[in-house]
Amino acid sequence: MRNNLIGLLLLAPCLALGQYKAEQFDAALLEAKYGALLVFNGQNNSLTLKLESPSVTPLEKPGFVRVDNMIMQINLLPFQQKLDFDDLDTNTRKKYLLAWKEYEKEWAKDQLKSDLKDRTELVDLEGRSFLYWTYEMPKGDGNIDSQVYLVTIVFDQMLIMNGPVETGKKEKILRERLVAIAKTLTLNPNKTLDIEKLYNELKN
């Protein structure tokens, strides 16, 4: 079986029960002296992530970026179930992170026509609960050994960062890079960002 890199990085719709209409966010990748700043601007809220690297290149497909020669996808997946997102306790956050993983795992198994050998870890980064999840790709003629995900809940969204571990490369390096990005997560409740102003500030 051929391992399709882009196809395997795409996410299945999940947590899609109910009629809740989540906030819509637009993404912008802004060049900065340290690399790039990824901005998600919603109708009421915003968030940013720093990609600190001398080599940050946006790819043709939306949401994909190459950082230090590693392909990553960083995007938001909205909840479609209304919850008290401003007051989710740690256990509830973990419950929904694990529910997302189980849904995504079943979807991946169906797409790959194979059982998955995976590993899951709940980690705390800067006081926020993240799910670290990785699974091995089926043996075939492709060049991807495994997929790695680092996921958390922000506002009424799942923030999903993931990337492939290519043959000959180490999962540890990709994990360290994703964790470094996750630690820069800044939430701006009830505040949207002026992209043009921010762009000019980052240039100076």
At residue 18 the predicted structure's pLDDT band, cuts being 50, 70 and 90, is low
- pLDDT of 84 reads 86
Mark residue 15 as left, alpha or beta (left: phi above 0; alpha: psi -120 to 50; beta: remaining).
Answer: left
* pLDDT tens for each residue of 19-78: 678 999 999 999 999 999 999 999 999 999 999 999 999 998 888 999 998 999 999 999
Write out the residue range of the structural domain in which residue 46 sits: 19-203
Q: Does residue 4 lie in a domain region? A: no
State the total domains in the chain.
Answer: 1
Q: Does residue 144 lie in a domain region? A: yes
Q: Does residue 32 lie in a domain region? A: yes
- pLDDT of 141 reads 55
Instruction: Using the predicted structure, report yes or no on whether residue 11 has a pLDDT greater than 80.
Output: no
- What number is the average pLDDT over the span 186-195? 97
Half-sphere exposure (CA, 13 Å, Cβ side) for 13? Answer: 4
Return all residues near 21 (Cβ < 8 A) that are at least 6 apart. 80
15 vs 78: CA distance, rounded Å: 8
Structure tokens at 8: 């395997």
Which pairs count as long-range contacts for 29-33, CB under 8 Å and 24+ apart, including other chains?
29/56, 29/58, 29/65, 30/195, 30/198, 30/199, 30/202, 31/56, 31/199, 31/202, 31/203, 32/202, 33/202
CATH number, domain containing residue 53: 3.40.1000
The residue with tokens 């529910």 is 99
Residue 75's closest CA among 56, 103, 47?
A: 47
Instruction: Using the predicted structure, report yes or no on whether residue 3 has a pLDDT greater than 50.
Output: no
Structure tokens at 35: 């690399």
Q: Does residue 9 lie in a domain region? A: no
- pLDDT of 19 reads 66
Q: Does residue 6 lie in a domain region? A: no
Instruction: Using the predicted structure, report yes or no on whether residue 90 has a pLDDT greater than 50.
Output: yes
- pLDDT of 193 reads 97
- pLDDT of 204 reads 74
Structure tokens at 191: 């505040």
Q: Does residue 5 lie in a domain region? A: no
Q: Does residue 107 lie in a domain region? A: yes
Give whole-number Cα distances, 101 to 18, 82, 133, 166, 185, in Å. Answer: 19, 19, 8, 22, 21
Partners of 52 in the β-ladder: 35
Instruction: Using the predicted structure, report yes or no on whether residue 4 has a pLDDT greater than 50.
Output: no
